[in-house]
Amino acid sequence: MYDIFILKEQLASPKQVAVVMHARPDGDALGTSLALALFLREQGHSVHVITPTEYPSFLSWLPGVDSVVIAAHHTRETLLAQIKEIDLLFCVDFSTASRLDEWAYLLKRPDVFKIIIDHHTEPENFADLLLWDPKAAASAEVLFQIFEALEQKEKITLSVATCLYTGLVTDTNSFKNPNTRPITHRIAADLIEYGVDPFRVQWLIYDNKPLSRLHFFSFAISQRLVVLPELHVAYFVIQKDDYKRYDLKSGDTEGLVDYALSLQGISLAAVLKEKDEMVYLSLRSVGDLPANLIAKKYFNGGGHKNAAGGISHLSLTETVDRFEKILKELPFNF
């Protein structure tokens, strides 16, 4: 299915490898990167795992997470020194350089063989090998099929399987999103046969929250939710001060958007977050409404049809105004 011979050849002898995921990583980006790193280390390769920015605290139990380098905690010089000798660079769960934010310079290594493992649409042409399937529910699904094509499925350890299962669970919203395919369930079943405890994984991800998170969600639902029934839209506006007030860390707003989408009659939900002199947008849609096209056209972003994201350099109020204006003028049928 993939150009697996090229990958096989690249991995035939022990290599120095770096695995890079996108900024503000989710469970699929971190889980798939760690699954790959753990798998490659088992085969005798030396592997650095790099995330541009911090990973969410609800993923801090993932096997191998302690070895992850957070680029934002290093200078450009020390980061580059750590990966000076690498032969291979894997880009996991992204295929556009902009998803590395200011760390896109990590891709500027003409001497290094680059491999993309991803499932986002419209990949850029910066890699030597593209292992990519836009129909896959998660990058974890792509990586599992790569292991299969390499005829190395039997080398999947419990830790590797747990990381992959986490990618499947988080990118499908517990197998609820329409990106979930029969093969997604088949891979999940295989991973459970490798020893993954599906209940424990879901518990660690979703049911292990500090009370402050529930307080924040309660505050957001009562104070920060805007509902536009005539447009079938509901969105949250999270201010910089809210982050301080609830001591929010990276990933702490994850799942909030689903409350807006769970409302009766709502087809498009969003969270607009004011952070680091920017506004980050998280979009979710129902049915054929293309959240990724809205993100791409208006917010320099992208993603999948029903789950997408982007950024705005306007102020929060200006972004909200623009967002509403765009919604009112949308050519799409709700």
Query: What does the binding site for Mn ion look like in residue numbers (CB under 5 A)?
Result: 28, 93, 138-139, 171
* Residue 310 contact among ligand 5GP, Mn ion, none, beta carbon within 5 to 8 Å by kind: ligand 5GP
Radius of gyration of the chain (CA): 20
**283: Cβ contacts below 8 Å, ≥ 6 apart:** 257, 268, 269, 270, 291, 294, 295, 303, 307, 308, 309, 310
| Segment lying near ligand 5GP (by CB under 6 A), choices 40-48, 108-116, 175-183, 299-307 | 299-307
Query: How does strand 233-238 pair with strand 225-228?
Result: antiparallel
Please choose, from the candidates 267, 297, 294, the residue with its C-alpha nearest in 3D space to the C-alpha of residue 282: 294
Give the separation between CA 149 and CA 278, rounded to whole angstroms: 42
- Toward Mn ion, which CB reaches closer, 25 or 217? 25
Task: Give the shortest CB-190-to-ligand 5GP separation in angstroms.
Answer: 23
CB 196 within 8 A of CB 162: yes
Quick one: tokens of 195?
């020893």
Give the helix/strand (H/E) hosting 266.
none
Phi, psi of 54 (to 5 degrees): -60, 150
Please choose, from the candidates 319, 230, 202, the residue with its C-alpha nearest in 3D space to the C-alpha of residue 271: 319
Q: What track of x and - describes contact with ligand 5GP for positions 78 through 97 (by CB under 6 A)?
A: ------------------x-
Task: Give the shortest CB-32-to-Mn ion separation in angstroms.
Answer: 7
Around Cβ 161, how many Cβ atoms within 10 Å?
A: 23
Q: What track of x and - describes contact with ligand 5GP for positions 114 through 153 (by CB under 6 A)?
A: ------x---------------------------------
* Residue 142 contact among Mn ion, ligand 5GP, none, beta carbon within 5 to 8 Å by kind: none
Task: Give the shortest CB-152-to-ligand 5GP separation in angstroms.
Answer: 27
Q: Of these, 83, 188, 310, 327, which contacts ligand 5GP (CB under 6 A)?
A: 310
Q: Of these, 238, 307, 316, 320, which contacts ligand 5GP (CB under 6 A)?
A: 307
Q: Of these, 179, 303, 316, 327, which contacts ligand 5GP (CB under 6 A)?
A: 303
- Toward Mn ion, which CB reaches closer, 139 or 306? 139
Binding site for ligand 5GP (CB under 6 A): 26, 96, 99, 120, 282, 301-304, 307-311
